[in-house]
Amino acid sequence: MDKFIDRFSLEGRKAIVTGGAKGLCNGMAQALHDAGAEVVLLDVLDIVGDSAKEMSKNGAAVYAVKGDLCKTEELEHVYQECLEKLGGRVDILLNGAGIQYRAPAVDFPRDRWEKIVAINMSAVFYMSQLAGRTMLAQKYGKIINIASMTAFFASVLIPAYSASKGGVAQITKALSNEWAGQGVNVNAIAPGYMATELTANMKEVNPKQYEEITGRIPMGRWGNMEDLQGLAVFLASDASAYISGAVIPVDGGFMGK
């Protein structure tokens, strides 16, 4: 038998990472790539091409596809473009693109609600559906959705985000129920409080909450990009073969307190 550690390898695997141009998903895409996978970064930002170039300096190929996950009618085309770049096979789909907006529920703008739900939740389902068709035909696939701690509890001032991430957790379980028996594992990562652009304005908007959160994290610090890389590779690899339908926190111990 091969060495156990070889089960973590992603050599020869093909991955699509949505929201991969920057931030946490860029970090997870980098980790998949470092573990051997060919990667397509799918993102709405113009910098996605540069992000792919930066990542592909050594190892397997990294491609960029520009696409807006809000535009439901274009998703099939965007997915086909990703599939083509990967030569018709997709082993890993990491649904990571996400946006945030803070406002009291009573004033929360409808256009913001709809955009957040479209990108954070509906696109997770639509992209999984498209990749699922390929993966079910292959009898092999790993879908990794990026949820949040707000999949377990709803935070204040972010009703749309909380609802969308709760939805991501349920989509993960629903798809797992249908596909886990056919070779397609579907799991979610629930990052805790991460120090990124998405959360950067929290210190100013709600300093009291910021301090309370930091004090409540058993590890005493907010997480960073590197903290998610190990779990992303694990869930994308054969080392996690018997794990499906799980929503796994990476939160410095927050959920245990």
Q: How far apart are CA 192 and CA 211, in angstroms?
A: 15
**Least CB distance to ligand NAD at residue 175 (A):** 17
Residue among 4 and 200 whose Cβ is closer to ligand NAD? 200
The active-site residue out of 63, 79, 161, 193 is 161
Query: Would you tell me which residues interact with ligand NAD (CB under 6 A)?
Result: 19, 21-25, 43-45, 68-70, 96-99, 119, 146, 148, 191, 193-194, 196-199
- Tell me if residue 210 is catalytic: no
Tell how far CA 83 is from the center of its chain. Answer: 18
Instruction: Give the pair of three-digit tokens for residue 4.
Output: 């156990």
Residue among 135 and 188 whose Cβ is closer to ligand NAD? 188
**Least CB distance to ligand NAD at residue 86 (A):** 18
Residue among 9 and 144 whose Cβ is closer to ligand NAD? 144
Q: How far apart are CA 257 and CA 216, in angstroms?
A: 8
Residue 194 gets which letter from DSSP? Answer: B
Furthest-apart CA atoms within the chain: distance in Å: 60
Residue among 98 and 141 whose Cβ is closer to ligand NAD? 98
**Least CB distance to ligand NAD at residue 18 (A):** 6
User: Do the strands 141-146 and 184-191 form a parallel or antiparallel pair, or are they unpaired?
Assistant: parallel
Q: How far apart are CA 180 and CA 166, in angstroms?
A: 21
Phi-psi region of 62 (alpha: psi -120 to 50; beta: other; left: phi over 0): beta
**Least CB distance to ligand NAD at residue 37 (A):** 19
Among all residues, which ones are annotated catalytic?
161
